[in-house]
Structure 1
Amino acid sequence: MNFAFLTAGAEGTAGMASMFIMLGVMVVVMYLFLYRPQKKQQKKEAEMRNSLEIGDEVTTIGGIIGRVIAIKEDTFVMETGSDRTKIRFRRAAIQAVEKLNLDPAATPEKK
């Protein structure tokens, strides 16, 4: 008798199982290397934007640098340049925030 059809079915099942295992491993790797670091970065950026205070120096995503003079819920007003031009931006436009240092003991002395 020919039992080739029984062994072919077992090999097909093992092949399907290994394929699902590899697919699962790929999903876990994508989560660890793509999704999780992106969520960490987004959380860090949201924290930076929510900790915005009056007097902080801000750089926008467009490259405009200025000092924060007013803050509302999702917008802020920034003063730029020596002519003190005031521009209103959304908080989402913030790329970097440099906190205002009011502690004179922490500032480095120039010699």
Structure 2
Amino acid sequence: MFYTEAYAAAPNPGNGPQQAPGFGNILPMMIAMFAIIYFFMIRPQSKKQKETRRMLDELKKGDKVVTAGGILGLVTDVKGNVITLKVAPNVEIDFRKSAIATVVTAELEKDLKGETEKK
């Protein structure tokens, strides 16, 4: 009787060692999560930064711009990191390039005129 109980409790040599769940199961999930974060958060932000940097580098005299504070103006001078905007007749303001939010395109100008007509 004791012999049969000991035989039943012995491990089966045909199955091999049992592996406990560990880091190997979590690793693919962690890689997938990093890929998702990269493609939905990091990559779009870096694309936007490159586009903004390109836009600021291409600023030239005569461009219409909108500042981060919402001031519309015409670029009259670009000296390094400082831009001079004409915001009204005989009124010019100096801004840093980083204060420029966007360059006004024909489409954006049309939208801005539509907003002022509604008021």
TM band (smaller chain): 0.7 to 0.9
Q: Of 84, 99, 102, which aligns to 1:93?
A: 99
1:43-88 CA distance string (max 9 Å, x none) = 1111111110101111000000111111011111111123x31111
Where 1:67 maps in the other structure, the secondary structure is: strand
Larger RCO of the pair (alpha carbons < 8 Å, separation 6+)? 1
Aligned partner of 1:58 in structure 2 is 65
Percent identity between matched residues is 30
| Bigger Rg, which one | 2
Q: CA deviation at 1:93?
A: 0.7
Aligned partner of 2:41 in structure 1 is 34
Q: CA deviation at 1:28?
A: 1.0
Q: 1:45 & 1:90 partners in 2: Cα distance?
A: 14
| Structure 1 residue ranges, 4+ long, deviating more than 2 angstroms after superposition | none
Larger deviation, residues 90-99 vs 35-44: 90-99
What's the TM-score, normalizing by structure 2?
0.71
How many residue pairs match? The answer is 94
- Which sections of structure 2, spanning at least 5 residues, go unmatched? 1-8, 12-16, 107-119
- Which sections of structure 1, spanning at least 5 residues, go unmatched? 101-111
For 2:103, the aligned partner's letter is V
Q: 1:34 & 1:87 partners in 2: Cα distance?
A: 36
Aligned partner of 1:47 in structure 2 is 54
Query: Equivalent residues in 2 for 1:65-80 (5 A)?
Result: 65-80=72-87
For 1:62, the aligned partner's letter is G
Q: CA deviation at 1:31?
A: 0.7
